[in-house]
Amino acid sequence: MYEQLKELWDRLQKREDLVEYEGPLLSLFADPKTGGLYLVSWMDCDNWTNKWLVFNATATAVLGFKDGVITLKECIEQATLLFFINLDKDLIVVDIRETTAEGIPADLMPGDESFKP
């Protein structure tokens, strides 16, 4: 699964930053091969890498989030493909791990009020 997720990640093209604070925290990406939309959400960091959650999203979910109708948590819970990706300071992939909404640690999962600021 690592190679398939890495191939997907390498294909994704950034469309826009949805939430920023001293850099992007949540960005919208598109897969030119399938037309699928993906949200990429910053989750955590350590001394060497930044951890991001990548997950697919429908256009309806993206618009709902942008319009303040649904939360980021709801977008995550609706996703059918989710994976963590760790990138080093040069944006080189260090690790990729598939997950589920239930597999996201509670301290990393956005809250029930995680509407777009």
Q: What is the mean pLDDT of the chain?
A: 95
Q: Which residue has the tokens 């493909």?
A: 81
Please determine, for residue 117, whether its predicted confidence score (pLDDT) is greater than 80: no
Is the Cβ–Cβ distance between 64 and 82 less than 8 Å? no
Q: Which residues partner with 14 through β-bridges?
A: 29
Instruction: Please tell me the predicted confidence (pLDDT) of residue 22.
Output: 84
How far apart are the C-alpha atoms of 16 and 77, rounded to whole Å? Answer: 22
DSSP string, 43-56: EEE-SSEEEEEEEE
CA–CA distances in Å: residue 87 to residues 49, 65, 67, 78, 94: 5, 25, 30, 25, 6
pTM: 0.94
